[in-house]
Amino acid sequence: MQDRHVLSSAYLTVTVKADGAELCSLIDAADQELLWQAGPAWPRHAPVLFPIVGALRDNTLLHAGHSYEIGRHGFARDRRFAWLERSTTACRLALHDDGQTRAHYPWPFRLELAYALDDDALTVRYTVTNTGRELLPASCGAHPAFQWPLGEDVAKDAHTLEFDQPEPAPIRRLNPAGLLLPDPVPTPIQGRVLRLDPALFDADAIILDHPASQSVRYGAPGTPTIEVSWEGFRQLGIWSKPGADLLCIEPWAGTASPADFQGEFTAKPDVMLIAPGEKRSMSYRIRVV
């Protein structure tokens, strides 16, 4: 079965691949590629984050007296998903636990990604199901990387993020090991607007752990405007890798471990706890306006 599937409308052409269930192309009606194309500076497009977001202390998950090694953002982004449905405007993929996943994360699960294209908007839905007999702790998140700048003759610092609500609350930052620093810091967002500059990301991601907004618009004068909205995700990360022409707008359900947290994964702050037989769904939407 083919590794990639294309969705299309009069406004957008979208490509999804089975490896990582990853969105890998987003082309608008003017034939402009809006998604970062996995260049050498960062070899991904829009990875699926599961069963953790960010890093755990010493890359170690603790459960019932056992230690499990698990890398930053988990393993879903590096696993091949199975196609469940494919049409001209939608597709659905799934990943189940197996011996390989249980070596890093000892719980049974089912993770499903559903992509649906409706005119000028793409909706991506995550559904995590507990297929086991005990409580399932999990985090998941989106990591779409957009071109920055969005036009060849547009300066990076001409771009802004405009939130749908004022965001005066302090933000969170990460230490060099990728763990949450204990103390919030003042936000660089002024009212509803974050003026983008590469220097913002010298200290890694900007993390809104309790955003007031449910959407944000990204763009600059003379470029397309990309609106990202979300439901069910509780946090938002904004990130760019120094030296890479990309900007990631990342709705999350979970964050990296606090730098001082050393407990069981089930007790980790902001982790979802899903009862046996239950499921949790969340979604984000990309719209070109």
Write the CATH number for 222.
2.70.98.10
CB atoms within 10 A of CB 30: 8
What 3-state DSSP class applies to 156?
A: helix
Question: Is the pLDDT at 1 greater than 60, yes or no?
Answer: no
Q: What pTM was estimated for this model as a whole?
A: 0.97
Residue 13: count of CB within 10 angstroms of its CB: 17
**Encoded tokens for 102:** 């249980």
pLDDT at site 270: 95
Integer Cα distance of 2 and 259 in angstroms: 42
Q: Cα(14)–Cα(90) distance, rounded to whole angstroms?
A: 10
pLDDT at 2 over 80: no
Q: What is the span of the domain harbouring residue 221?
A: 4-288
Tell me which DSSP letter residue 50 carries: B
Q: How many domains does the chain have?
A: 1
How far is residue 223's CA from residue 221's CA, in Å, rounded to a whole number?
A: 6
CB 96 within 8 A of CB 107: no
Statement: residue 26 has pLDDT above 60: yes
Query: Read out DSSP for 176-223?
Result: TTSPBPSS-B--S-BTTEEE--GGGGTTS-EEESS-S-SEEEEE-TTS
Token reading at 287: 């719209």
28: CB partners within 8 A, 6+ apart: 11, 12, 34, 224, 288
Mean pLDDT to the nearest integer, 62-68: 97
Question: Which residues are paired to 136 by β-bridges?
Answer: 274
Encoded tokens for 236: 């938002």
Q: Does the pLDDT value for residue 171 go beyond 80?
A: yes
CA 214 to chain centre: 15
pLDDT in tens, 187-246: 999 999 999 999 999 999 999 999 999 999 999 999 999 999 999 999 999 999 998 999
Look at residue 74 in the predicted model and tell me its pLDDT. 98
The pair phi, psi for residue 76, each rounded to 5°, is -60, -35
Phi first, then psi: give them for residue 174, nearest 5 degrees: -110, 150
**Residue 19: is its pLDDT beyond 90?**
yes
